[in-house]
Structure 1
Amino acid sequence: MKQETLNFFDKVYEVAKLIPYGRVTSYGTIAKYLGAAKSARMVGYAMNGSTGKDVPAHRVVNRKGLLTGKHHFDGTNLMQQLLESEGVIVVDNQIQNFDSVFWDPAKDLLTK
């Protein structure tokens, strides 16, 4: 893998580590925050490779609030279980009240 890709993945991990407990964000939102708006899929690849890196990958979902990355977690419902343990409501792989639990690093981190 090229060095640029690894650096991008590291940046993705740093943003993902900032997602507050009980909140979620999307692949595309992280990509946009990092100045790579068309790289949502690369953010997904980074999340897939985040095992063992202390990254809360369960808090990153698609732009509609679907748990599209759930098959990369051990166990059939681990992603949902992790989110629910943080108070996020999930029904049929869909986060409920998505707008109220959505976290945008561009808005949150600029105000600090």
Structure 2
Amino acid sequence: MYKILVIEDEEKIRDIIEESLCKWGFEAYAVSNFNNVFEEFVQIKPQLVLMDVNLPAFDGFYWCNKIRSVSKVPVIFLSSRSTNMDVIMAVNMGADDYITKRATRCNIKNIA
């Protein structure tokens, strides 16, 4: 079974990702201490990392660079940040791909 490390600080998004991965038969692990992302990566030894850019303490670019210093495991960014510079920074730090989270708005009309 493949192990996937989820590095996402927004609880609702993290829970949705973890639940979906588990439904597909993957072992999903979520980082709980954002000061020790690298230590958790080393301990878990995942086959894939899904990471947000905006994280407490250090950003995802920093952690991707740290992971790349010891591993070639695929790193995919999942972020609400969508500028070309964000994508370039991610790739320069060693990311394999960059996926933008898109929020949708639901217009609800009050019917009186």
TM-score range relative to shorter protein: 0.3 to 0.5
Between Structure 1 and Structure 2, whose CA radius of gyration is higher? 2
Determine which structure has greater relative contact order: mean sequence separation of CA pairs < 8 Å that are 6+ residues apart, divided by chain length: 1
More strand, by proportion: 2
Q: Normalised by the size of structure 1, how large is the TM-score? A: 0.33
More helix, by proportion: 1
